[in-house]
Structure 1
Amino acid sequence: MTSNDPADRIRAAAAAMQPRLVALRRDLHAHPELAFEEHRTAGIVAAELARLGIPHRTGVGGTGVVGVIEGARPGRHLGLRADMDALPIQEETGLPFASRVEGKMHACGHDIHTATLLGVAELLQSLRGQLAGRVTLIFQPAEETLEGGPAMVAAGAAAGLDAVVGFHNHPHAPVGSFSFVRGPSLAASDTFALTLRGKSGHAAHPYAAVDPVVGAAHLVTQLQTVVSREQKPLHPCVVTVGMLQAGTTHNIIPERALLKGTVRTLHAEARDVAEAAIRRLVEHTAAAMRLEATLDYRRMIGSLVNDDRVLEPAVAAVRAQLGDVIAEGQPSMGAEDFAAFAEVAPAFHLGVGAGAPGRADRLHNADYQPDERCLELGVQALGRIALEMLA
């Protein structure tokens, strides 16, 4: 006898597709592709959507794929988004399905995300007679460079959405758990590259030169005051100089020094304060040290803000499907270009526990190994969210 309980039907469907989703994920894992190079991955996504009879478009925003499931009745328009790109990391897992591509690896679990959303697509296609409205399935390239989300939005992938849901695996959380954050959840990410030009000379005669190394050292320490002395204490901000290059040997004062760094903020006001302060510190410190400064400051992606209008029904749907497995988490200063979708439609980003028993794993790690049971559980959670929001 077939159960009329939606939780039972979704659970059974997800369990049945789990072996195929694992095989699909492992195939994607073995063939990682970097940002805007996801041609093979996009081809697999398109083939799966075609197999399911889901109309779709390819080449959206570069290498993105968009599929559409039409419900039986008019209603809301919900977007579901997964990212597809890998990282330039040499895999060290030793797994039989480890990356076959030198220097590239799915070390952030986007292979998990792609396979999960394909499972959700299969589930919702089978339930489309119960849906009121439309589901747009968004398979996005280039999240790691924070360029794919804006590119897909610019290409119209978010057009007409009433709500959009994204998700990310969390290897630091046990498989079977889920999480959410209210309001700002992930940081805006900006970058800067600074070139300081002085006058080269002999290290024994510094008075005859203009030393960019000393200027760079001053700026590295001065930039930390952007956080400690310019931001409101309740406005999180991170300023990190990740690269400083200058000189070639011990006894030559070089002509130039290069610094590169990142700025992370959760609030728009803090973002403006940080940029203005960095520009001011660069200008005046360089002048004080007799240096010429060239600053390239780029705003990459805004803060990801979860909207309660999507968060509340989504959290309730997860609990209805899986029980008391979802808890409120803390914001992170990491960044996610799902924020581009959140800027044009009410959005919610779900955390999916993927930690394997006995492991203390982390993202962007050459030995990263998520628990593949998160595939089936992710399908259940996201499928129930869509079903409830389009009931």
Structure 2
Amino acid sequence: MTETFSHSGANDVAALIAAAVEENEARFIDIRRRIHEYPEIAFEEVQTAALVAETLTSLGIEHRTGIGRTGVVGHIRGGRPGPTLLIRADMDALPMQEETGLPYASKIPNRMHACGHDLHTATLLAIGAVLKRMEDRLAGEVRLVFQPAEEAIGGAKEMIADGVMEGVDMALSLHNRPEIACGRFGIVHGYANAAVDSFDITVLGKGGHAARPYAAIDPIVIAGQLIGQLQTIVSRNVRALDACVVTVGSIHAGEARNIIPDRCELKGTVRSRQPEARDAAEAGLRRLCEGTALSFGAGCELTYRRGTPPIFNDAGMLEHTLRAINAQLGDVAFDYEPSMGGEDFALFAEMVPSFRLLVGSSQPGRSDKVHNSDYQPDERSIAFGTLALARTAVDLLS
């Protein structure tokens, strides 16, 4: 990727960062492949954490293990006092079978790095290598956070409980994006993704024979009515300019074709970006459950769980990152659309000004999606992500 470095010009910092990335690129691609071969799912990232710790030791970076159960935290302390910047990467894989046929494909059945967390981990290690070399230039501390269990939406909470955010002033994160060309970056303003809430509904009717429905209270018919009404939450309760999705993903009732069961169970999710949409969706769901039960003379039990909030990209952190990318790589970042997916980096972003960068990872000629058994991202995205975020860190702590 020699052509990349020509964009950094004669700027001293840009040249130093570019040289360090070029020197170490092959090493961190190899580390990514080692992680990819032995994927570990939520809170089982023992081997991955050991490799991270081993690499940090080789780089001379002070670190702690066992944070948030299987997480690792590295510390790079600058030559002068200043703020603390946290940079986070997730480490966990997915419970799915890999079908890439690559020489370094997963050796663990039904385990795969299909979301690129192996790329993220390698990128953060590479960022650590660059920043350790430049630590005397930094004013403050860089905290490198290698988080477990992002896919299970639990690792950030565990690491925060173990004190990883103590003394932190600002935070950065990254996620590879196969819809974006490698070498380019996506910038999302404001709410970057969705809050993830879940609900369980149990419709309580009165069982009976299928030939005599008038003698029963059919929870399946009631559930059918309710499912249709739930779709009015978004169309009639949430502001049209806000983003919200209400989805029923599971329905179960009865075991026989000629028996009306006495209960029907629904499971679903609510995704929303704005707090007002989140509140309106929960209130609407509660109201419809109560009203449906009343109108049919049935019972309706609702359990609603609020999960992770949306990530809010702080305008100041976004602008710092964008300026750093422009200074290091040129005009390669562009505005990108938000996602309705969930991400527990949001828990860090709730506490301090934060920004999550989308790093292009598409290979030429491929049309990939994450969580796909044939996902093959471009490994050059490790170097590009390192160039962008190492420069951002240096600029923030200058």
TM-score grouping bracket, smaller chain normalisation: over 0.9
Question: Secondary structure in 1 aligned to 2:106?
Answer: coil
Aligned to 1:57: 64
Gaps of 5+ in 1: none
Q: d(CA) in 2 for partners of 1:125 and 1:219? A: 57
Q: d(CA) in 2 for partners of 1:317 and 1:361? A: 28
Q: Once superposed, which parts of structure 1, at least 4 consecutive aligned residues long, lie more than 4 Å away? A: none
Question: Secondary structure in 2 aligned to 1:152?
Answer: helix
Q: d(CA) in 1 for partners of 2:290 and 2:38? A: 46
Equivalent of 1:112 in 116, 119, 133: 119
Q: d(CA) in 2 for partners of 1:233 and 1:226? A: 11
Identical-pair percentage: 53
Cα distance, 1:4 vs structure 2: 6.3
Equivalent of 1:361 in 365, 368, 379: 368
Cα distance, 1:121 vs structure 2: 0.7
Aligned to 1:160: 167
Cα distance, 1:209 vs structure 2: 2.2
Aligned to 1:220: 227
Q: In the TM superposition, what whole-angstrom CA distance separates every residue of 1:290-347 from its partner, at most 9, and x where no partner exists? A: 3322222111111111111211111100111111100111211111111100111100
Q: d(CA) in 1 for partners of 2:245 and 2:137? A: 46
Residues 1:328 and 2:338 are matched in the alignment:
no
Q: d(CA) in 1 for partners of 2:366 and 2:256? A: 43
Question: Secondary structure in 2 aligned to 1:101?
Answer: coil
Q: d(CA) in 1 for partners of 2:203 and 2:66? A: 41
Q: Which amino acid aligns with 1:294?
A: E
Q: In the TM superposition, what whole-angstrom CA distance separates every residue of 1:238-280 from its partner, at most 9, and x where no partner exists? A: 1111111222232222232221111111111111111111111
Aligned to 1:12: 19
Q: d(CA) in 2 for partners of 1:44 and 1:199? A: 57
Q: Give the alignment's Cα RMSD to 1 decimal.
A: 1.3
Equivalent of 1:129 in 136, 147, 157: 136
TM-score by length of 2: 0.95
Q: Which amino acid aligns with 1:162?
A: D
Cα distance, 1:287 vs structure 2: 2.8
Alignment of 1:36-75 (within 5 A): 36-75=43-82
Alignment of 1:1-391 (within 5 A): 5-391=12-398
Question: Secondary structure in 1 aligned to 2:192?
Answer: strand
Gaps of 5+ in 2: 1-9
User: Relative to structure 1, is the Cα distance of residues 4 and 320 closer, same or farther in structure 2, using a 3 angstrom cutoff?
Assistant: closer
Aligned to 2:6: none
Cα distance, 1:147 vs structure 2: 1.5
Q: d(CA) in 1 for partners of 2:20 and 2:158? A: 33
Q: d(CA) in 1 for partners of 2:296 and 2:363? A: 53
User: Relative to structure 1, is the Cα distance of residues 219 and 39 closer, same or farther in structure 2, using a 3 angstrom cutoff?
Assistant: same
Question: Secondary structure in 2 aligned to 1:224?
Answer: helix
TM-score by length of 1: 0.96
Cα distance, 1:154 vs structure 2: 2.3
Q: Which amino acid aligns with 1:190?
A: D
